Structure 1
Amino acid sequence: MKALKFTGLVALALALSTRLMAQESQQLTVPLSDPGKPYKLNVDLVTGSIKVSVHDGKDIIIDASAPHGRKEAKESGGMRRLSSGENLDVEAREKNNQVRISNNMPNKNVALDIKIPRGATNIKLMAVNGGDISVNDVSSDIEASNTNGAIKLTNISGSAVANTTNGRVLVTFKTLDNKAALAFTTLNGDVDVTFPATFKANLKARSDNGNVFSDFDMVTEKSPSKSTKTAKDGMYRITIEDWVYGKINGGGPELLMKNMNGNIYIRKAK
């Protein structure tokens, strides 16, 4: 396994690992074991943002930076700042064309701009605090999960599952896998997805405080509201689930779209 890492302290080189140390920003190049062959990418951040795009090279290139925004402490009293306090400790591990990128300082905000070669078969991206997830012009199966940030997938091909809690989900497909199930969900924000005109799917959609819109011609049906009543320790509760079902272009794999606060848009590419 090749392990590549940069932080903000020292620099050294080993036979199978390279550690580059720098403050505030740095670039890291990750060679694949079998360049030109299919590969997988997994990026896991606690605090920060992730951007993925395609380039024509054979290596994965990671540009990492520590976004500024820290306020000067009142106690500094106008003293000259000698350090930013924004060191980096980002690590990339590669084995048999499987690449995992992580931040070893989970409470430090880091922005990752990752350029990948063509040929990725599966991309998994996860962030929790501090930033958005964006993917541009990538052909792959994509799984994106965020907690406090948006997810934006632009001109993608393949399949996608995108889930966030606080932020919108905005997706544009160039082409897609007509056999794969798709799911796009958020708690607070719009879900807005554009599909090719020939897209086929069985739609299952629900917005608790919003509406579902589409410019596809489809056969839709509103399912009977499902209500549940419960009583426990003197507490009584009723819940109502109201889903919209429909067949897009005659139907196909399942398309799940769900949010609580916001609208759902199912768009047909022009």
Structure 2
Amino acid sequence: MLNAKNTFKYAPIALLLIAGGLQAKTINKEFTVANDGLLKIATDVGAIDIDTHAKETVLVAVTITGSNEDDMEVSFNNSDENVSIKGDFDRSSFGFGNNHIRVTYKVTVPENYNLNLDTSGGSIEIENLKGKVDAHTSGGSITLEDMVGDVDIKTSGGSLDLDNIIGKIDAKTSGGSITLKLPTNPTKDSSVKTSGGSITAYLAKDVAVNLSAKTSGGRVSSEFAVNGTTKKRSIIGTINGGGPELVLKTSGGSVRIKEI
């Protein structure tokens, strides 16, 4: 939901731009949609921030700043309950002394909605959503909080922060740590993997899962009793009788399983 936190979220950025003499280029759009529709964003550059409200509309605010702001073109398409946003950056004039641009997409969607997000350079944040999420960034972190629905997320260069997700989780990062918080017992399989960071999983006291936790370059530890095989770099077995699969795997860090 929109709140004071979101209202003032970008205030420091705005003040910085004013102080630096830069004027942001803004694009505001509103689309009438229906619940269970799809928002698709594909952009060459830009951070994406998704929030929800109890209305059947999609509100879009795109902010573009920097000396190359005119080289960024954002187009929109609305078809029935779906909204598509495309961001194209002309890199032909992207050279020394003229190489600054910053783009943010602040989008508010219905509480029941689906997302397909792809950015080549920016972070992704999603809160308070009921729907399927497919999100990818080539250069930023991904944060998901208070969600109901299956998620498939990937980043090539950032951390993952997953808090209170009810649904199937498939999460991968090539260069960052992962924090997973499951305050309720999962009903579907979860898999989180990183090639270059640690994994910390906070689980409910009564969690019941089939655990597979492995690392190639650190240690694995669990605050839960596991019925299975426990080694320095792997713990495989069941917690509280077993349940959905919980896979925690890293190639370059430790895996810690803690009780909430």
Which of 150, 160, 175 is 1:151 aligned to? 160
Q: Distance in 2 between matches of 1:67 and 1:197?
A: 47
Compared CA separation, residues 158 and 28, structure 1 to 2 (3 A)? farther
Matches within 5 A, 1:223-262: 243-262=234-253
The answer as to 2:127 corresponding to 1:117 is no
C-alpha distance in structure 2 between counterparts of 1:218 and 1:100, whole Å = 46
Contact kept, 8 Å, 2:45 with 2:103, in 1: the verdict is yes
- Higher gyration radius (CA): 1
Report the identity percentage: 21
Match of residue 127 from structure 2: none
Q: CA deviation at 1:196?
A: 2.9
Distance 1:25 1:260, change over 3 A: farther
| Counterparts of residues 51-62 of structure 1 (less than 5 Å) | 51-62=49-60
Q: Does 1:198 align with 2:234?
A: no
CA contact (8 A) 1:53 1:138 kept: no
Deviation of 1:126 (Å): 0.9
Secondary structure at 2:174 match in 1: coil
Whole-Å separation in 2 of the counterparts to 1:215 and 1:106: 51
User: Offset at 1:175?
Assistant: 4.1
1:247 deviates by 0.9
- Using the size of structure 1 for normalisation, the TM-score is 0.65
CA distances 1:201-251 after superposition (whole Å, capped 9, x unpaired): 21112111122232223223148x9xxxxxxxxxxxxxxxx6431212211
Distance of 2:77 and 2:178 partners within structure 1: 29
| Structure 2 Cα separation of the partners of residues 106 and 139 of structure 1 | 37
Whole-angstrom CA distance in 2 between matches of 1:41 and 1:214: 39
Cα separation, 2, equivalents of 1:30 and 1:211: 49
**Cα shift at 1:165:** 0.7
Which structure has the highest helix share of the two? 2
Q: Which has the higher contact order (CA 8 A, sep 6+)?
A: 1
Q: Alpha-carbon deviations, 1:168-216, whole Å to 9, x = none?
A: 22232354651x2211111112222323333322111211112223222
- CA separation of 1:211 and 1:124: change in aligned 2, threshold 3 A: same
Number of equivalenced pairs? 211
Provide the residue aligned with 2:223 in structure 1: 215
Counterpart of 2:175 (choices 166, 173, 179) is 166
Matched-pair contact (CA < 8 Å) for 2:31–2:59:
yes
Q: Which residue of 2 aligns with 1:138?
A: 147
| Paired residues of 2:206 and 2:240 also in contact (CA < 8 A) | yes
1:104 aligns with one of 67, 75, 88: 88
Aligned-pair Cα RMSD in Å: 3.0
Separation in structure 1 between the aligned mates of residue 203 and residue 42 of structure 2, nearest angstrom: 28
Structure-2 change in CA distance of 1:204 and 1:92 (3 Å): farther
CA contact (8 A) 1:192 1:266 kept: yes
- Unpaired segments of 5 or more residues in structure 1? 1-21, 69-83, 226-241
Whole-angstrom distance in 2 between the partners of 1:171 and 1:48: 25
- Which residue number in structure 2 is paired with residue 50 of structure 1? 48
| Separation of aligned partners in 2, 1:106 and 1:151 | 29
